[in-house]
Amino acid sequence: MTPAFIEGSTVVGDSFTAGEGSDATPSKPSLKPTTTGKGRDYASEFVATKDYTLEERPFFVRIGKDGVIAALEKLDQQLVQAGRSRVLSKKSPTDWTGKEVIPGRMGLINHGGLPKVVTKAGRYPGFPLRNWWARTWCGTTGLSDTVIEFQGLTVVQVSQNQAAVVSDPQNHIFVIKNSGFVAFAIEGTYDVLSVVDMTHLPTLVKEQSTGVTLGWTHEVTMKSKMGSTTKEYVMATFLNIPANNCAIVQRGDDLLLLGAGQLVITNPNVTLRGIYTLGESQIEMPTKDIFTRDQVPVSLRIYLKWQLTEPLRLATHGYATPYDALRDKTQSILTQIVSHLDYSAMIKQRSLGPDNMEDGTDMSSAFLDALRTRAMDDMHEAALEYGIVLKDLAVIDRQFKGEIAHTMDKLTTRALQAQIEAANVDRENSNKVKQEQGALSVARIKVQASNTQADSEAYRVIAAAKAEAERTRIAAEAQAEATRLAANAEADAIMTKAQADSQVVDLFAREMQLRRVEVAKVKAYGSKTIFVPSDGPGAQMGNAMAVGLAAGMGADSRR
């Protein structure tokens, strides 16, 4: 932020007009016509008072880049040239005994009520080793201390973001920042009223209606005694204004707008008129009771959104905040609109604003049309007179009052109860339907599981049958193959044996073979078996024997 200062007769920093950039040429809107100017020159002209600069003060030396010791030496030379006592002591340090002054500090000596300082490090012996008549050792202090006050000698050194408010012997107030000074007051004193951290001022300023942070302030006061009464008076006002905000200062009937930054006002002719934000703001505000054409009282709740573009216009009209200006105009315009409407034209519509566009057939469209065509246009035009651009206007709620409102509340309560009951019934029905749907879904899932299990069992049976059939087929094929192989083997054996028998030519051997066959036959059928020939005469004898045997068996059975 660019610092801007109003110090006594000087305003440092460019001023600007709302709606223009900070580098633009500022106009001078005021309560009466005045001469215009530019930048720092115009600001200086605005707060012009007696030209009493720091350089005009006697025995006053600014601390430069050489430091506080060089400034003390320069002040000492001025006092010598004026025929006054020095402030720097001529005593030389030793290294063996006495009061010790370490580097970075200086010793303070009271010489008959006048200040003496020693700046060289070392030890300073006391009486009787040195001439200490009428001198008193008062200790040491740091060379870099912010404020040093001793027997009329004043040393002030402030760093970045610090500002020292000082009252000179003539009670003129001036501000020191980013530097310092060394001074000796012959008549009166230099009083350091306060050292302020300009980036962290203690008092927060907010817009009461919207809660927007406007900036921070701090007032430096000085006590003044009048007889037995002591009062405090404001000597300097510090301001820290954030970006997109501005401050308006006043001198008489003239106003000046200053941009964001750090400011301090010490000129008694210049006062702070107000701090404003240039960003968008919004608020919900209730209106006072408004009577319709048929004398039904109604209270509206309104949503407003705006942006302040010309704070000087607003300050000229005497409003502390944009909300104060819009509140009065809004109440007046809505009173004019509602007073021309009937109760029936407003009763049906709950939310009123640009989003509730009607086709003109509804009873509430009269209020909406009036709000859309008259209220917004009239409010926008009225806001421009105060340097405000109205961004949005909507009536978000209304409350009817009186006997009619009481009746309507009862009807509304009954309607709401009916809606709640209907909603509860719908909810219960919905829950039951969902429960039935859930049970149906469970049944479907169970049926699907049963079908899946049956399909699996059938598939298992079919697979087992197919496996059994395949096993039987394979076993049958194996058995047939084994029978075929056995038959082939047996046939081969018979053939081989027949071939072997055919090759026997010896009669004795053949006879022996026949007898072996007879022995095997008897062995196979038993020794009591009678072999009967089946052809020739032996066959007939065999048949007769069988018939006789059967007859005998039948006779035995009858007995």
The pLDDT of residue 531 is 67
- Whether the CB-CB separation of 114 and 84 falls below 8 Å is answered with no
Residue 148 forms beta bridges with which residues? Answer: 155
Residue 439 or residue 346, greater confidence: 439
Q: At what angle do helices 322-338 and 376-385 cross, to 10 degrees?
A: 150
Q: How far is CA 78 from the centre of its chain?
A: 62
Distance in angstroms (rounded) separating the CA atoms of residues 207 and 326: 14
Structure-token pair, residue 50: 């007696």
The pLDDT of residue 368 is 57
> 187: which DSSP letter?
S
Query: Which H/E stretch holds residue 513?
Result: helix 507-525
pLDDT digits (tens, 9 = 90+) for 181-204: 999 988 888 999 999 998 999 999
3-state secondary structure of 203: strand
Is the C-alpha dihedral spanning 550, 552, 555, 557 positive or negative? negative
pLDDT digits (tens, 9 = 90+) for 294-309: 777 888 888 889 999 9
Does 537 have pLDDT greater than 70? no
The one-letter amino acid code at 70 reads: A
The pLDDT of residue 50 is 47
Does 530 have pLDDT greater than 60? yes
Query: What does pTM read for this prediction?
Result: 0.61
pLDDT digits (tens, 9 = 90+) for 47-105: 444 444 555 778 999 998 889 999 999 999 999 999 998 999 888 888 878 888 999 99
pLDDT digits (tens, 9 = 90+) for 21-34: 333 333 333 343 33
Q: What is the mean pLDDT of residues 131-156?
A: 88
Does 160 have pLDDT greater than 50? yes
Query: Which H/E stretch holds residue 177?
Result: strand 173-177
How buried is residue 146: exposed, middle or buried, by Cβ count under 10 Å (0-12/13-18/19+)?
middle
Q: Where are the domains of the chain?
A: 42-196, 198-278, 280-351+364-392
The pLDDT of residue 194 is 92
pLDDT digits (tens, 9 = 90+) for 462-491: 988 888 889 898 988 889 888 888 888 888
Distance in angstroms (rounded) separating the CA atoms of residues 250 and 6: 12
| H helix runs in 274-401, sequence order | 311-316, 322-338, 365-370, 376-385
How long a stretch of residues is the chain? 559
Domain covering 280-351+364-392 assigned CATH 3.30.479.30 in the classification? yes
- DSSP assignment string, 10-41: EEES-B--TTS-TTSPP---BSS------HHH
How buried is residue 236: exposed, middle or buried, by Cβ count under 10 Å (0-12/13-18/19+)?
buried
Q: What is the mean pLDDT of residues 324-338?
A: 83
- Whether the CB-CB separation of 393 and 376 falls below 8 Å is answered with yes
Contacts of 291 (CB under 8 A, 6+ apart): 297, 298, 338, 339
User: For a pLDDT cut of 90, what percent of the chain falls above it?
Assistant: 19
- Whether the CB-CB separation of 248 and 257 falls below 8 Å is answered with yes
pLDDT band at 521 (very low <50, low <70, confident <90, very high): confident
The pLDDT of residue 8 is 37
Give the range among 343-357, 411-425, 498-512 with minimum mean pLDDT: 343-357
Q: What is the mean pLDDT of residues 455-461?
A: 88
Query: Which H/E stretch holds residue 195?
Result: strand 191-197
Give the range among 47-51, 212-216, 531-535, 548-552 with minimum mean pLDDT: 47-51
The pLDDT of residue 178 is 85
Contacts of 537 (CB under 8 A, 6+ apart): none
Tokens 């404020």 identify what position?
A: 147
What backbone torsions phi and psi does residue 483 show, to the nearest 5 degrees? -60, -45
Residue 400 or residue 494, greater confidence: 494
Residue 127 or residue 338, greater confidence: 338
Q: What is the mean pLDDT of residues 422-436?
A: 89
- Whether the CB-CB separation of 84 and 60 falls below 8 Å is answered with no
End-to-end CA distance of the chain: 152
Mean pLDDT of the chain: 79
Structure-token pair, residue 92: 């030389």
The pLDDT of residue 136 is 87
The pLDDT of residue 538 is 57
The pLDDT of residue 130 is 67
Distance in angstroms (rounded) separating the CA atoms of residues 224 and 414: 71
Distance in angstroms (rounded) separating the CA atoms of residues 346 and 348: 6
